[in-house]
Amino acid sequence: MVSKGQHVRGRIIDAANRLFYERGFNRTSFSDIADAADIPRGNFYYYFKSKDEILGAVIDARLDDISTMLEGWNETIDSPRDRLKRYLKIAINEAPEVVLHGCPMGSLNQELIKGQLAPREHARKMFDLFGSWLEQQFRALGKSKDVASDLARHLQGRMQGIALLGAAYSDTEFITREVRQLTRWLEEL
């Protein structure tokens, strides 16, 4: 059973997650989060002492979500190539949000790159998770470890570029076109 405290904590993390994505981490204040989670300021400090603590919890929650998603794909999709195509589909499925706010993972990393080392490295773990999963799929396609690792980073870069230009120009057609190209690239690999 989830206790009331865990429930409140979860509500704070959900609210912060949403705000960090829509407004950005740096433009979201401690009190924005308290307001969005609808929690009195006084209670709030019981759960989190600083915005950085909330950031840590948000990244952990996102890491959990990513892991669950990737494990789900491993269980339900047999072929590594189809798994990689499922990964590409994120860009299509999330396009309506991406054109408004960019990629949640990419934009948070971009913000934190300009900040302190610890949160920067924590946020990068999201890229790491996808990266090692992608590498496994390329390995399963018969690529050597080095090649698979390069292909994984290459594909992550492609997806990030698609998200950023797609968002800058609110261009879902661009996203669709690029994903189609990447799909062909995967098929020929």
Summarize as ranges the residues that interact with its own copies (CB under 8 A): 22-24, 26-27, 101-102, 106-107, 109-111, 113-115, 124, 127, 150, 153-154, 156-162, 164-169, 171, 174, 177-178, 181
Shortest Cβ distance from residue 21 to its own copies (Å)? 8
Minimal CA–CA distance to 102: which of 111, 116, 13? 111
Nearer to its own copies, 6 or 153 (CB): 153
CA distances (Å), origin 83, targets 21, 28, 88, 141 = 26, 35, 9, 11
Dihedral sign computed on CA atoms, order 55, 56, 61, 62: positive
Nearer to its own copies, 49 or 180 (CB): 180
Q: 61 with 13: CB under 8 angstroms?
A: yes
Nearer to its own copies, 80 or 166 (CB): 166
Q: How far is it, in rounded angstroms, from Cα 129 to Cα 133?
A: 6
Shortest Cβ distance from residue 143 to its own copies (Å)? 15
Shortest Cβ distance from residue 123 to its own copies (Å)? 8
Write the secondary structure of 102-160 as one string of H (helix), E (strand) and C (coil).
CCHHHHHHHHHHCCCHHHHHHHHHHHHHHHHHHHHHHHHCCCCHHHHHHHHHHHHHHHH
Q: How far is it, in rounded angstroms, from Cα 189 to Cα 170?
A: 30
Nearer to its own copies, 137 or 160 (CB): 160
Nearer to its own copies, 39 or 134 (CB): 134
